[in-house]
Amino acid sequence: MKRRNVMTALIACAFTLAMNAAVNQTVAAPPSQVTQPYMTAAIDHLNKAKAILGLTQPTAKLDKDAVEQIKQARASLEKAEANKGGFRGSAFKLIDKALKAETNAKAGPLLDQAIGEVKKGIDFANKAAEKAKPPVQKNMVAAMDALEVAKKQLMDQRVGTKPSKDVILQLNKAQASLQQAEANKAGHRKAAMDLITQASKADTADSALKLVTSAIDEIKLGIAAADKGQ
């Protein structure tokens, strides 16, 4: 009797360790998976099912606890968006086959394949989302960088003095970058260029500083407008 209790305790302990390992495997998943919560949850359940299968005889009938985890994985996939390049659909088919498997040995490889398809689906969706992001406004950013340098230089100048040659150089750089930028900035690009022109002709550093600061704000608005497609 005591021996049986010891064996039961050991099996329970091994089961707990295996389940924790499965959870940790999902928690340690790469950042790309974090953006796909339902797909990640499916992997979690499939890993738990695999852990359960690992504690049973390969020739035994599919464990009911493993079946429950596999069904939960399927439910998670159903909640995920169908923008996974067909990999989500492939995972469904493999999961359904696993549920119909006669033994643990036959279900295991199907679960491995399903996990692989889910991971491919996550990768596909994340790459598609990355491509859909608005393009970086390189010329607008370059103009803003040049203006930030000019702003710092103007702040270091004495009040009442004319903008230095170094300031004018940075203003010209900013103007040139804005000229190369696309004119899809809802008028903010043009406003920034006008402000830079005024700053270049300003009599004092403090006057130029106000104009440069306003130009920087216009560029930020222009970048935001372009990203929104305005």
193-228: pLDDT as tens digits? 999 999 999 999 999 999 999 999 999 999 988 887
- pLDDT reading at 3 higher than 50: no
Residue 211's CB is within 10 A of a number of other CB atoms, namely 22
In a domain, 36, yes or no: yes
Q: Where among 108, 132, 156 does a domain terminate? A: 132
Residues 7 and 87 in one domain: yes
Lowest mean pLDDT among 53-62, 112-121, 137-146, 189-198: 53-62
**pLDDT of the residue at 133:** 61
**pLDDT of the residue at 137:** 85
In a domain, 28, yes or no: yes
In a domain, 170, yes or no: yes
Residues 39 and 117 in one domain: yes
Choice between 92 and 58, residue whose per-residue pLDDT is larger:
92
pLDDT tens, residue by residue, 142-175: 999 999 999 999 999 998 899 999 999 999 999 9
Residues 122 and 216 in one domain: no
In a domain, 126, yes or no: yes
Compute the distance between CA of residue 211 and CA of residue 198 in angstroms, rounded to an integer: 7
Residues 68 and 145 in one domain: no
Question: C-alpha distances in angstroms, 1 versus 4, 5, 15, 117?
Answer: 5, 6, 21, 46
CATH of residue 156: 1.20.120.660
Q: Is residue 212 a contact partner of residue 178, using CB atoms and an 8 Å limit?
A: no
Lowest mean pLDDT among 15-29, 106-120, 214-228: 15-29
Residues 123 and 186 in one domain: no
In a domain, 230, yes or no: no
Residues 6+ apart with CB under 8 A from 144: 174, 216, 219, 220
Q: What is the DSSP string of 165-220?
A: HHHHHHHHHHHHHHHHS-S-STTHHHHHHHHHHHHHT-SSHHHHHHHHHHHHHHHH
In a domain, 179, yes or no: yes
Any idea which residue has 């359940």 for tokens? 45
Mean pLDDT, the chain, integer: 85
**pLDDT of the residue at 56:** 84
Buried b (16+ CB within 10 A) or exposed e, 73-104: bbebbeebeeebeebbebbbebbebbeebeeb
Compute the distance between CA of residue 213 and CA of residue 101 in angstroms, rounded to an integer: 68
**pLDDT of the residue at 135:** 60
**pLDDT of the residue at 48:** 96
Residues 89 and 107 in one domain: yes
Residues 128 and 167 in one domain: no
Exposed, middle or buried by CB within 10 Å (0-12, 13-18, 19+), for 38?
middle
Q: Is residue 25 a contact partner of residue 42, using CB atoms and an 8 Å limit?
A: no
Give φ, ψ of 51 to 5 degrees. -65, -40
Give the residue numbers spanning the domain of 95: 2-132
Q: Where among 132, 166, 197 does a domain terminate? A: 132
**pLDDT of the residue at 4:** 45
Compute the distance between CA of residue 114 and CA of residue 108 in angstroms, rounded to an integer: 10
Region 122-126: what's the mean pLDDT?
Answer: 91
Q: pLDDT band for 128, please (50, 70, 90 cuts).
A: confident
Name the token pair of 99: 């549920």
Lowest mean pLDDT among 86-100, 128-142, 199-213: 128-142
Lowest mean pLDDT among 11-25, 35-49, 65-79, 157-171: 11-25
**pLDDT of the residue at 88:** 94
Region 175-190: what's the mean pLDDT?
Answer: 92
Compute the distance between CA of residue 135 and CA of residue 131 in angstroms, rounded to an integer: 9
Q: Where among 132, 161, 178 does a domain terminate? A: 132
Residues 172 and 106 in one domain: no
Domain count, the chain: 2
Residues 89 and 168 in one domain: no
Q: pLDDT band for 6, please (50, 70, 90 cuts).
A: very low
Compute the distance between CA of residue 64 and CA of residue 48 in angstroms, rounded to an integer: 12
Residues 124 and 176 in one domain: no
Residues 48 and 77 in one domain: yes
Residues 198 and 128 in one domain: no
